[in-house]
Structure 1
Amino acid sequence: MLNVFSSVAPYLKFNPKYVIVDNFVFKLHYRWSFVILLVATILVCSRQYFGDHIKCISGTIPEHVINTYCFFTPTFTLVRHLNNSALDKGIIFQPGIGPEESENEEVKRHAYYQWVPFVLFGQAILFYIPHFLWKSFEGGRIKALVFGLRMVGLTQYVRNQSLQIGKLNIPSMEEAESRVKNIRRAMIDRMRINQSWGAQLALMEMLNFFNILLQIYLTNRFLGGAFYSLGFQVLQERWTNRMDALDVVFPKVTKCHFRKFGPSGSLQMHDTLCVMALNIVNEKIYSILWFWYMFVLAMTILGLIWRVCTFLFYKNVRFTKLTFSYFARPGRIDYQELAAVVEKCNFSNWMFLFFLRSNLSEFLFKRVIFHLASELPNPEKDNSINAFLDREHSAATAGPSGTAPPIRLDDVDTPLLANKASDKMD
C-alpha cells in the first residue's frame, strides 16, 4: 500500500540544496496542504483497498447495471428518517433509510461522491499556485547567491579545492570568497532596482489567505452547506449519538430508484439499497480537512500580522536585530553595522537581507553586514550605484589635479572575507 503514495515522496524528502525563499506559513500551503490533498485524492481512487465505491442490492437487475446506474445517478436518503429516535426504537436500521409514504417525500440527494477525486486534486493545485507564482517572481536570485555556501564552516579544512560528498558541496576558500563577493555586488546593485520584491512576496501571502478562504467556501458548497460546522458537530456528536453529522453528510447506505419497462410495456420501479463503501474514507478525509483548514487559516492570519509588523518596523534596528538573530537563524549581529545597513534599506531590500540571513551562516552574514555598512549608497545623495562609487573613489584617490578616474561596480573586487588590515580569511 505504501507504493501507492510514492508519487508524493519527492515533496517530503530532505534536500540539502534547498534554499529558503519563504516562511513556515507559506510551506503549510504549497507543501503540507498540497501533499495532504494529493494523498486524499490517491485514497479515494484506490479501489483495491476499500472495495467497489458502490454496491447496490437488486434481485432482478444485473449487478453491474444497477451499480453503474446508481453511481452516475445521485442516490438519496429520506429526511424523515434522519433522526436518532427512530434508530433507538429499531424502526429503521440506518439513518435516512426507510419506507416512503409518498412520491413527493422530502429527500436528501448525494451526488458529490462522483466528483470527490477531481475536487480534491483541483484544490491541491490551487494551494500550489501562489508558490509557483512566487518562485517565478523571485527568479532564483537567493539560490544563485548562496549556492555552495551552506558548508562554508568547513572551508578552512578544505583550503585549495572544493570537496563533494554526495549532494553536499564544501567550497574551497577561493570559491567561498568569490561567491560571497557576488553576494555583496548583487546586494549593492539591487538597492536601486529591487523595489517590488517585498511587495510581490506580501501579495503572494495575501493570495494564500484568500485561497484558504476560497477552499473553505468551495468545500462547504460541495458538501451542501455542511462543512462550516462539520468539525464542531463531529466533536459534539461523534461519541454520544448513534447518528451524527458524518452519517448525514456521508451516508453508508442510500436508496436508489431504477425504472425500466416491463414485458407488457408498463413502467416498473425498482427500489434499491446501495452500500457506499467509499464514504467511510470520505468522512475521514473531510473531517481531517476541516481541522487542517482551520489551522492553516489561523496560521495564515498570524503570518499576515507578522508581515504587517515587518513592514511597519523594519526600519527599527532593535526589531531587525531580533528578527535576524532569532527568526531567520540564531546568531549575533553587530548593532552599529546593522543600523548603518537598515538606514539605507527599503522594505524589499530588508526582505532580501532576511532571506540571505536565513540561508547563510552567522560567519558569512556578519561579513556581509560589515561590508554593506560601509559600501551601500546613501539614498539621499546618490542617484545610482556608479555615481556613489565615483564619489567615494574620487575622494579617496584624487591626485594633484584633484580628479580621479571613474570606477564601476564590476571593478570593486575587495573580498568580503578579508579584513581591512589583512587579505587573509577569518
Structure 2
Amino acid sequence: MLSTFASVKQYLKFDLSRVIIDNIVFKLHYRWTFVLLLVATLLITSRQYIGEHIQCISDNVVAPVINTFCFFTPTFTVVRHVNNTALESGSIFQPGIGPYNRNEDKIKRHAYYQWVPFVLFAQALCFYMPHMLWKKWEGGRIKALVYGLRMVGLTKYLKHDSMRIGKLNIPSMAEAEERVINIRRTMIDRMRLNQSWGAHLVFAELLNLFNLLLQIYWTHRFLGREFLTLGIKVLRERWVDKMDALDVVFPKVTKCTFYKYGASGSLQEHDTLCVMALNIMNEKIYTILWFWYAFLLTVTVLGLLWRLFTVFFYKNVTFSKWSLYWAKPGKIDESDLKSVIQKCNFSNWMFLFFLRTNLSEFLFQKVIYHLASEFPNDPIHDNDINDYKAREREAAGSSGSTAKYPLLESLDTVDAPLLHHRGGASVAPKSPTDGATLPA
C-alpha cells in the first residue's frame, strides 16, 4: 500500500532549514490540499483496494462486455424509489432500485464516476498554481538574503579567525561585519526595487480564496448540485435513517439498459443491475473533502483578515513588535524597529516579516540595527529607503564615478556577497556610508 503513495512522498518532507516565503494558510492550499487530492486520485485509479469498479448481472450477455458498456454509459436510478419509507418497509432493497416504467418514471443518471480521477487531479493542479505564481513573483529574493545572513550567523562562535569546512567558509567576526554591511546594502536595494512585492503576495492569497470557492462550486456541479450540503446531511442522517445523502449521491447499486440483436435480428433489451464498487471509495473521498474544504475556507478567511490587519497597522510599532515576535519569538530593540518601520511601505514590512521568520534572534537584531543606522529620523523625507538611493547617486555624481557605490551596479552584482564569497574577504568595497559597526 505504501508503494502506491510513494509518488506523493516528496511533497510531505519537512525541512526545517527550508527558507519560508509564505504562511501556514498558504501551505494548507498548495501542500496539504494538493497532497490530499493526489492521494484521492491514486485511490480511485488503484483497483487493488476495491477490485473491479463495476460488476453487472450479465444474463445472456458476456460479462466483460456488459460491464464495460455500463461503465462508459451512464447508469441510472429511479427517482420514485429513492424513498426511505419504502426502504425501511422492505418494498425496495436499495435506494433507487425497483420496477421501472420508461414512459412514466423519472430517472436520475449517474455519469460522474467516469470522470472522478481526472477532476481530482485537475483540482490538485489548481490548488498548486497560486504557489507557483507567488514563487515566480518572489524571485528567490528572501532565499538569497537569508543564506547570506545564516552564514554570517555562524560567526558568533568565532572571534578573530575564519574557518573553512570543505567548501563552506565561515568568516571571522571582522569579516562578518564587512559582509553584514554588504548584505545591508543589498536589502535596501531590494526593498526599494520591489515596491509591488507585498501587492503580489496579497493577490496570491486572494487567488487562493477564489480558487477554493471555484473548486467548491465545481464539485457541487459535478455531483449533481448535491455537494454544498453533503457534510451536514451526513452528520444528520448517517446514524438515524436507513438511507442517507451518501446513498443518494453515490448509489451502490444502479440500473443499466443494454441492447443487442437476437438470432432472428430483432432488438433485445436487457435491464440489468450493476454493483458500483467504485462509489464505496467515492463517498468517503468526497465526504472528507467536504469537511476539509469547510475547514480550509474558514482558515483562509481568517488569514485574509490577518492580512487586512497588517495592511492597515503595519506602521504601528506595538503591532509590528508582536507580529515579528509571532513570526519567531525573540527580543527586538523597539527604538531601532521604530526607526525602520516608519520608513517602510507595506512591501518593505512584509519583506522584514519573512526575514524574521527565517532568521535567528541574533541575526535579525543585527539586520534591524544596521537598517536603523541608515534611516535617520528626518521628517523632510517620507521614505528614506528611496532617499538612500538618491543620496548615493548624488555622491557618485560629485565624485564622477559609480564604482564605489554597489547600489548603482546591476542586481546580480549586488547579490554577489550573499552566495559567492571567496577567501574570507568582502566582495564589494565599503562606501562612505558604511561607518556603522555591529552592536557589542
Q: TM-score, normalised by structure 2?
A: 0.86
Aligned letter for 1:111? A
Bigger mean CA deviation after superposition, 203-212 or 405-414: 405-414
Aligned letter for 1:388? R
Give the drift of 1:92. 1.1
Bigger mean CA deviation after superposition, 408-417 or 70-79: 408-417
Do residues 387 (structure 1) and 403 (structure 2) align? Answer: no
CA distance in 2, matches of 1:9, 1:416: 50
**What are the ranges of 5 or more consecutive residues in structure 1 without an aligned counterpart?**
395-402, 421-425
Q: Which residue of 2 aligns with 1:336?
A: 335
Q: Which residue of 2 aligns with 1:142?
A: 142
Give me the CA root mean square deviation. 2.7
Q: Which residue of 2 aligns with 1:412?
A: 430
| Aligned residues of 2:191 and 2:351 also touching (Cα < 8 A) | no
Give the drift of 1:384. 4.8
Do residues 295 (structure 1) and 295 (structure 2) align? Answer: yes
Give the drift of 1:176. 5.5
CA distance in 1, matches of 2:137, 2:435: 28
Change in CA separation of 1:409 and 1:263 when aligned onto 2, cut-off 3 Å: same
Which string of whole-angstrom CA distances, capped at 9 and with x for unpartnered residues, describes residues 92-144 of structure 1?
A: 11111111134341111100000000000000000000000000000111011
Aligned letter for 2:382? E
Aligned letter for 2:216? I
Q: Which residue of 2 aligns with 1:245?
A: 245
Change in CA separation of 1:231 and 1:163 when aligned onto 2, cut-off 3 Å: farther
Count residues with an aligned counterpart: 409
Bigger mean CA deviation after superposition, 381-390 or 250-259: 381-390
Q: Which residue of 1 aligns with 2:162?
A: 160
Q: Which residue of 1 aligns with 2:281?
A: 281
CA distance in 2, matches of 1:177, 1:271: 84
Identity value in percent: 62
Which string of whole-angstrom CA distances, capped at 9 and with x for unpartnered residues, describes residues 205-241 of structure 1?
A: 1100100000100000000000000000000001111
Change in CA separation of 1:65 and 1:171 when aligned onto 2, cut-off 3 Å: farther
Bigger mean CA deviation after superposition, 132-141 or 259-268: 259-268
Give the drift of 1:265. 2.0
SS state at 1:283 partner: helix
Q: Which residue of 2 aligns with 1:399?
A: none
Q: Which residue of 2 aligns with 1:254?
A: 254
Q: Which residue of 1 aligns with 2:81?
A: 81
CA distance in 1, matches of 2:82, 2:430: 78
| Aligned residues of 2:177 and 2:438 also touching (Cα < 8 A) | no
CA distance in 2, matches of 1:336, 1:393: 31
Q: Which residue of 2 aligns with 1:232?
A: 232
Give the drift of 1:412. 3.3
SS state at 1:147 partner: helix
| Aligned residues of 1:51 and 1:277 also touching (Cα < 8 A) | yes
Give the drift of 1:181. 3.7
CA distance in 2, matches of 1:293, 1:88: 33
Do residues 64 (structure 1) and 64 (structure 2) align? Answer: yes
CA distance in 2, matches of 1:231, 1:191: 46
SS state at 2:48 partner: helix
Q: Which residue of 2 aligns with 1:400?
A: none
Which string of whole-angstrom CA distances, capped at 9 and with x for unpartnered residues, describes residues 345-386 of structure 1?
A: 011111111111111111100111001011147643866534
Give the drift of 1:335. 0.8
Give the drift of 1:419. 2.8
Which string of whole-angstrom CA distances, capped at 9 and with x for unpartnered residues, describes residues 328-354 of structure 1?
A: 100111111001001110111111111
| Aligned residues of 1:21 and 1:355 also touching (Cα < 8 A) | yes
**What are the ranges of 5 or more consecutive residues in structure 2 without an aligned counterpart?**
408-428
Aligned letter for 2:113? Y
Give the drift of 1:90. 1.1
Change in CA separation of 1:77 and 1:173 when aligned onto 2, cut-off 3 Å: farther
SS state at 1:47 partner: coil
Aligned letter for 1:248? V
